[in-house]
């Protein structure tokens, strides 16, 4: 009986204590943990275009971006780009001015770097050219690191240019090897012929330079050519050797020697051509003993065949150095002394396809030149570019660069010039 009374008493005490605890509100509240927010890494997957000019707007596409422009930072080699708009999958940026033509692109979203999965010719980056202007010369990085002094240049358009064995299709941002030889002629189909001192003989280059074959009949593997031309079908073509032998083909395989200089062999090392019937190859030919005189081997119509133009009245030791034709009839020629140390240069002009030449200027030691038409042209002297607007009779300083300029060329209203570190352009 006593045990029962004791159990009842203990139960009453427990109930009282529990009631007091509930009334006091002293128990710990239930803690609700906030949901875990998983921040997904932003990812770059593509661009609206892989290259552009300074000031141009380009879209960067991807995943897990932000629609708040304040969350986004885009830089090119550390140079901040203006963000024009943003969504979770697209960022529009204005390309800044950069020193390199392929600057490193970095995108951060709320201070976290986006991963880049783009695969293109720029290692996943965006190529940037300087903004074009018609008010003056502009410069860009020359990734070739070659001033082009000895380069054979064939311009195709304002963005496409062959530079001896190399080619650019994007305005000089990137260069790819097109051929093994440095003397080339490329067709509109990106095919053509290649030759050169290091690779004598004649080589056929397939589209894009992806495959090179030698399959020509009657062309000696030791022949050195400084003038080659082939039409778009790769059938009708002409090749002229350094010592003045002319080979032609009508099927792109079998060649026939159609002309050869008689007597003392010439040294022909530079050329220009318009088509298979308008070609001029220049250099020099000894007249008596070792006396050098300027010399041109050329063809300027469909009926006369190949002709020779020796500059018999020029002083000994002078050679034809550079040539440029703006059409079938009008051309310009630089003659200077074989020894460059003698700073004497003469500029000649023809209006009958090279059948006659007239000296028009001899006041500056121009090394390279190019013409837009019969009146307008540009010439290089060390680190300077001069311009003429009256057919070469007078020249004025147009641009001064920080390095010597090795070469210059014109086509489609843009002039390209080359120094070792820069490509210099003038849009017209």
Residue 78 belongs to a domain: yes
Q: Check: CB of residue 380 under 8 Å from CB of residue 395.
A: no
SS3 2: helix
Q: Is 100 exposed, middle or buried (0-12, 13-18, 19+ CB in 10 A)?
A: middle
Query: Is 117 within a domain?
Result: yes
Helices (H), 147-265: none
- Flag whether 244 is in a domain: yes
Low pLDDT (below 70) residues in the chain: 1-39, 289, 340-343
d(CA 372, CA 391): 10
- Per-residue pLDDT at 223: 84
Calpha distance 388→247 (Å, rounded) = 37
Q: Determine, yes or no, domain membership for 405.
A: no
Final residue of a domain: which of 260, 278, 300? Answer: 260
The answer to whether the CB of 43 falls within 8 A of the CB of 115 is yes
Predicted local confidence at residue 316, as pLDDT: 85
Tally of domains in the chain? 2
Q: How far is it, in rounded angstroms, from Cα 323 to Cα 338?
A: 16
CATH of the domain at 214: 2.40.10
Using left for φ > 0, alpha for ψ between -120 and 50, and beta otherwise, residue 371 falls in: beta
CA distance 281 to 296: 6
Helices (H), 79-212: none
Confidence at residue 27, expressed as pLDDT on a 0 to 100 scale: 58
Single residue among 205, 229, 260 that ends a domain in this structure:
260
**Where is the domain boundary, 237, 260, 283?**
260
Please give the pLDDT value at position 32. Answer: 66
Residue 264: partners with Cβ closer than 8 Å, 6 or more residues away: 285, 286, 287
Give me 256's structure tokens.
């026939």
The pLDDT assigned to 128 comes to 98
Q: What share of the chain is helix, strand, coil (3-state, %, to 5)?
A: 5, 45, 50
The pLDDT value recorded for residue 196 is: 81
Q: How many helices (H) and strands (E) does the chain have?
A: 1, 39
Cβ-based neighbour number of residue 297 at 10 Å: 26
What's the pLDDT at 211? 72
Among 108, 121, 129, 98, CA closest to 47: 121
Indicate whether 25 belongs to any domain.
no
Could you tell me the end-to-end alpha-carbon distance of the chain, in angstroms, rounded to an integer?
120
Which CATH number covers residue 105? 2.60.40.10
164 occurs within a structural domain: no
3 state DSSP class of 37:
coil
CA distance 124 to 102: 10
At residue 69, the 3 state secondary structure works out as: helix
Hey, how many other C-beta atoms are within 10 angstroms of the C-beta on 244?
Answer: 22
Residue 168 located in a structural domain: no
Is the CB of residue 156 less than 8 Å from the CB of residue 410?
no
Q: How many CB atoms lie within 10 A of CB 46?
A: 14
Reduced to 3 states, what is the DSSP secondary structure of residue 4?
helix
Asked whether the beta carbons of 52 and 31 are under 8 A apart, the reply is no
Domain span including residue 202: 182-260
**What confidence tens digit (pLDDT) does each residue in 58-71 have?**
999 999 999 999 99
Residues 53, 125, single domain; the answer is yes
Instruction: Name the token pair of 386.
Output: 């001069």
Two structure tokens written together for 262: 């008689």
Query: pLDDT tens-digit profile of 297-353?
Result: 999 999 999 999 999 888 888 899 999 999 999 999 999 987 765 668 899 999 999
Is residue 390 in some structural domain?
A: no
């Amino acid at each position: 009986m006593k045990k029962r009374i004791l159990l009842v008493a203990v139960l009453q005490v427990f109930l009282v204590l529990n009631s007091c605890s509930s009334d006091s509100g002293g128990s710990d509240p239930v803690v609700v943990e906030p949901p875990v927010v998983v921040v997904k890494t932003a990812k770059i997957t593509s661009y609206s275009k892989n290259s552009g000019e300074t000031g141009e707007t380009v879209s960067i596409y991807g995943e897990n971006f932000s629609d708040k422009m304040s969350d986004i930072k885009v830089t090119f080699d550390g140079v901040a780009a203006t963000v024009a708009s943003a969504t979770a999958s697209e960022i529009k940026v204005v390309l800044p001015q950069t020193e390199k033509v392929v600057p490193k692109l970095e995108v951060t979203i709320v201070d976290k770097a986006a991963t880049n999965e783009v695969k293109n010719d720029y290692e996943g980056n965006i190529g940037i050219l300087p903004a074009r202007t018609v008010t003056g010369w502009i410069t860009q990085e020359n990734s070739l690191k070659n001033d082009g002094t000895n380069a054979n240049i064939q311009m195709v358009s304002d963005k496409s240019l062959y530079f001896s064995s190399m080619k650019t299709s994007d305005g000089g941002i990137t260069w790819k090897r097109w051929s093994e030889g440095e003397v080339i002629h490329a067709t509109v189909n990106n095919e053509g012929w290649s030759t050169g001192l290091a690779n004598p003989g004649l080589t056929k280059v397939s589209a894009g330079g992806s495959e090179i074959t030698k399959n020509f009949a009657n062309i000696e593997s030791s022949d050195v050519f400084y003038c080659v031309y082939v039409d778009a079908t790769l059938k009708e073509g002409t090749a002229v050797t350094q010592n003045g032998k002319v080979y032609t083909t009508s099927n792109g395989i079998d060649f026939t020697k159609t002309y050869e200089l008689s007597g003392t062999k010439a040294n022909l090392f530079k050329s220009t051509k318009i088509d298979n019937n308008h070609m001029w190859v220049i250099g020099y030919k000894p007249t008596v003993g070792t006396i050098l005189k300027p010399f041109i081997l050329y063809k300027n119509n469909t009926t006369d065949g190949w002709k020779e133009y020796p500059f018999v009245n020029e002083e000994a030791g002078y050679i034809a150095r550079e040539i440029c034709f703006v059409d079938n009839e009008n051309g310009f020629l630089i003659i200077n002394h074989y020894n460059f140390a003698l700073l004497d240069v003469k500029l000649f002009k023809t209006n009958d396809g090279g059948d006659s030449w007239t000296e028009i200027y001899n006041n500056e030691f121009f090394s390279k030149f190019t013409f837009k038409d019969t009146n307008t042209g540009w010439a290089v002297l060390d680190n300077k570019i001069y311009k003429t607007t009256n057919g070469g009779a007078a020249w004025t300083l147009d641009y001064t660069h920080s390095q010597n300029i090795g070469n210059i060329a014109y086509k489609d209203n843009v002039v390209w010039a080359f120094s070792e570190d820069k490509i210099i352009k003038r849009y017209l």
